[in-house]
Amino acid sequence: MCCENVQEIFGEDVFNDSVMSHRLPKNVYKTLKNTIKKGHELDPSIADVVANAMKDWAIEKGATHYCHWFQPMTGVTAEKHDSFINLTDDGGVIMNFSGKQLIQGEPDASSFPSGGLRATFEARGYTAWDCTSPVFVKRDGDNTTLFIPCAFISYTGDVLDKKTPLLRSMDAVCKQGMRVLKALGNTTSERIIATLGAEQEYFLIDESYVEQRLDLMLCGRTLFGAQPAKGQDLCDHYFGSIEERVANFMAEANRDLWRLGVSASTQHNEVAPSQYEVAPIFGTLNVATDHNQLTMEVLQKVARRHGFYCLLHEKPFHNMNGSGKHVNWSMSTDDGMNLLDPGDNPHDNAQFMVILAAIVKAVDEYAPLLRASVASSSNDCRLGGHEAPPAIISIFLGDQLGKIVANIAKGGKNANAKGEAIQLGVGTLPKLPKDATDRNRTSPFAFTGNKFEFRMAGSLINTSGPTFVLNTIVAEALKQIADKLEKAKDINKAVQAICQELFKKHERIIFNGDNYSEAWPKEAEKRGLLNLTNAPDAFKCMKEKYVKDVFKDHKVFSPSELNSRLEILLDTYTQNVLIEGRTALTIANRELIPAIMEYSARLASAAAVVKDAGGCDCVHSRRLEKICTLLGALQGGVDSIEEALAKVEAEDNSMKQAEKARDLVRPAIQEARAAADELEEIVDADVWPLPTYNEMLYLRS
């Protein structure tokens, strides 16, 4: 493997531009390229030719099937394979793939969550090729399949997936952003493209441990487990040298990703023991989102080949660092300008400030929605602890840019960081050194030199959620700015006035201090910023008119589509917490309590034997008493979980159900856990039925 040429294998399994230009007739290639560039639907008149070329290419790669690959609301990707074979009259087969089969699929949608958008009898759903994301072949064991990245909508055209709103939001931000650029005098750019670089954190533990832990298997996180003797106290894992077995895993994962055209680029040990990160080179948002889905899948598959299990949950281990997925987001033009690059001439500076003002406005006005976009039962376990940002949305700009923005907000005496007056569109800003903007790792939404890094997003998330929200709310801010700029007589004055007004109005959302400090939540409250610590509270804003309006106005969701999304999010939250509750019950009832009972009986007989022999049984009885007390507490926790589950199941309002899951089930699990974790530390290691934190995080077989 080490001898493979990376340049040769990169994108080897992708029907990319170079393959297209080689295999398609010139005019078809040109039409297809134009469609991809403009983000239009594929012209049916060329579809047959394109499909046929794809089929031949895929068959040469060993493919027997094709599939429409989509991202329903289940949290995982979906694929249904169809073979290329067609029967012939003489009893044989020919391999066929038509333009129609490429463009559109018709999977039965009835078993995918729709949040009440349609009844089961109208089960039909359509998948449609997102031709801006290239098709590829994927190899799973001996099976090789042509994958077609798709959007998924219902018979009536309602959105059923995560990709459709993403594509719609990319159009919205492009449209409104272009209005602003044109008003500022740009005559060369035709499109704005949102970009994404998703850093993916994960844990790797020995597969054998997962087989012994139902909680990891079913919930992706430990519901029980005492703290290890050594946690992350010494900070010796972060950026440490990579263990050989892990390095072999990473090499193979990289190779598989590169073949799929995923630009996995950086890799390192993360803060917690057994925690790692991989990040790609950023790219066009929808393609980068597909690539992140593939990255998660490849990490999990390759891990198994190496005897590892890859945990993507945001908080697999209590009191240890959780896993995030930092969403690095920006906007570029089709002629190569990054709109979040401050630039070094007066015009670029002014443009940067307008874009920045739009983002500051958007994030402040729609902070609850942005918070909701990363809310889930699993991320609730991570936010606010152990190097994860708190649940309060704020923006970090860094000292230098922060000062410039504050000065602009003050108006009149506009000044750059050195205190010199600046006039947007006329004067220049001092060059912002990129590393100076990235020192604050505690911010949920940080400007990092030429992009924003949304760190609140968790490791399991599909990046479309936070990014379609960002695109939509920024599109709205850009729209309002464009409305003003298009009417302005003096564009520089208008820019100055808009930036001043917006930075002043939304100053409260900018926070350059320590987000982990105890003082921040108090300060944030004074500023009127919300601290939505849990998913059900975060989701509530989706019922508000201003949220419905922004999605409707930018054609991302109709109110009924948004409502269905809310129902799905609430149900998913509740179901996940219920699964945790049931899993905790099973582990406690069938593994922990029997083991503790047996151990206590052994202890009691040992005490009797010692006493009979004339020895002192005082240690025995002290321990026995403690164990029995804790066993009682564990049983108490089990009773609480049972009661809580029944109460949640009896509730039929989705919001109340989620709230009950949060308020009753999660604390009950915690109650059981507290007793069990104490027991784990005092009973014989040989009788404890679950692999411990010490074993899972440090022992490799």
Q: How far is the CB of 173 from Mg ion (least distance, A)?
A: 22
By beta-carbon proximity to ligand ADP, the closer residue of 256 and 453 is: 453
Among 326, 382, 451, 554, interactor with Mg ion by CB under 5 A: 326
The amino acid sitting at 540 is: K
By beta-carbon proximity to Mg ion, the closer residue of 516 and 698 is: 516
Among 281, 421, 436, 616, interactor with ligand ADP by CB under 6 A: 281
**Among candidate residues 87, 59, 80, 70, the one with its CA nearest the CA of residue 144:** 59
Query: What is d(CA 417, CA 405) in angstroms, rounded to the nearest whole number?
Result: 9
Q: How far is the CB of 453 from Mg ion (least distance, A)?
A: 5
Kindly report the length of the chain: 701
By beta-carbon proximity to ligand ADP, the closer residue of 105 and 389 is: 389
| H or E segment and range at residue 206 | strand 200-206
By beta-carbon proximity to ligand ADP, the closer residue of 387 and 591 is: 387
Tokens of 263: 């630009």
Q: How far is the CB of 359 from Mg ion (least distance, A)?
A: 18
Q: How far is the CB of 197 from ligand ADP (least distance, A)?
A: 2
Residue 329 as a binder of ligand ADP (CB under 6 A): the answer is: yes
| H or E segment and range at residue 486 | helix 464-487
Residue 279's binding partner, choosing from Mg ion, ligand ADP, none, with beta-carbon cut-off 5 to 8 A by kind? ligand ADP
Q: What is the DSSP string of 239-289?
A: TPPPPHHHHHHHHHHHHHHHHTT--EEEEEE-SSTTEEEEEE--EEHHHHH
Number of residues in contact with Mg ion, rule: CB under 5 A? Answer: 2
Q: How far is the CB of 434 from ligand ADP (least distance, A)?
A: 10
By beta-carbon proximity to ligand ADP, the closer residue of 387 and 453 is: 453
Residue 695's binding partner, choosing from Mg ion, ligand ADP, none, with beta-carbon cut-off 5 to 8 A by kind? none
Q: How far is the CB of 249 from ligand ADP (least distance, A)?
A: 19
Residue 291 as a binder of ligand ADP (CB under 6 A): the answer is: no
Among 11, 134, 228, 280, interactor with ligand ADP by CB under 6 A: 280
Contact (Cβ atoms closer than 8 angstroms) between residue 371 and residue 379: no
| H or E segment and range at residue 78 | strand 78-83
The span of 322-330, 339-347, 575-583, 686-694 binding Mg ion (CB under 5 A) equals 322-330
CA distances to 226, 465, 467, 469 from 370, rounded to whole Å, are 34, 9, 9, 6
Q: Go through 490-522 and write b for each residue having 16 or more CB atoms within 10 A of its CB, e for each that does not.
A: ebbebbbebbbbbbeebbebbbbeebbeeebbe
Tokens of 102: 């490429």
| Nearest-10 crossing angle of helices 491-505, 464-487 | 130
Residue 328 as a binder of ligand ADP (CB under 6 A): the answer is: yes
Q: How far is the CB of 278 from ligand ADP (least distance, A)?
A: 9
Residues 189-208 that bind Mg ion (CB under 5 A): 199
**Among candidate residues 171, 173, 187, 181, the one with its CA nearest the CA of residue 352:** 181
The amino acid sitting at 429 is: L
Residue 107's binding partner, choosing from Mg ion, ligand ADP, none, with beta-carbon cut-off 5 to 8 A by kind? none
Query: What is d(CA 450, CA 197) in angstroms, rounded to the nearest whole number?
Result: 12
- Residue that has been written with the tokens 């958007």 in this structure: 362
Tokens of 336: 């190569």
Q: How far is the CB of 359 from ligand ADP (least distance, A)?
A: 13
Q: 3-class DSSP state for residue 478?
A: helix
Residue 554 as a binder of ligand ADP (CB under 6 A): the answer is: no
Binding mask 331-360 for ligand ADP (x = CB under 6 A): -------x----------------------
What backbone phi and psi angles, to 5 degrees, belong to 372? -65, -30
Residues 48-107 that bind ligand ADP (CB under 6 A): none
Q: How far is the CB of 265 from ligand ADP (least distance, A)?
A: 7
Tokens of 260: 């799929």
Binding mask 254-273 for ligand ADP (x = CB under 6 A): ------------x-------
Query: What is d(CA 530, CA 525) in angstroms, rounded to the nearest whole number?
Result: 7
Residue 195's binding partner, choosing from Mg ion, ligand ADP, none, with beta-carbon cut-off 5 to 8 A by kind? ligand ADP
Among 289, 330, 496, 500, interactor with ligand ADP by CB under 6 A: 330
Q: 3-class DSSP state for residue 347?
A: helix
Residue 396 as a binder of ligand ADP (CB under 6 A): the answer is: no
Residues 431-470 that bind ligand ADP (CB under 6 A): 450-451, 453
308-311/125-129 β-pairing: unpaired
Contact (Cβ atoms closer than 8 angstroms) between residue 249 and residue 301: no
Query: What is d(CA 646, CA 648) in angstroms, rounded to the nearest whole number?
Result: 6
Q: How far is the CB of 326 from Mg ion (least distance, A)?
A: 4
Residues 187-216 that bind ligand ADP (CB under 6 A): 195-197, 199
Q: How far is the CB of 306 from ligand ADP (least distance, A)?
A: 23
Q: How far is the CB of 282 from Mg ion (least distance, A)?
A: 12
By beta-carbon proximity to Mg ion, the closer residue of 329 and 693 is: 329
Q: Tell me the β-bridge partners of 66.
A: 82, 146
DSSP 8-state secondary structure symbol assigned to residue 441: -
By beta-carbon proximity to Mg ion, the closer residue of 463 and 657 is: 463
Kindly list the residues in this chain that would bind Mg ion in the complex (CB under 5 A).
199, 326
Kindly list the residues in this chain that would bind ligand ADP in the complex (CB under 6 A).
195-197, 199, 266, 279-282, 326, 328-330, 338, 450-451, 453
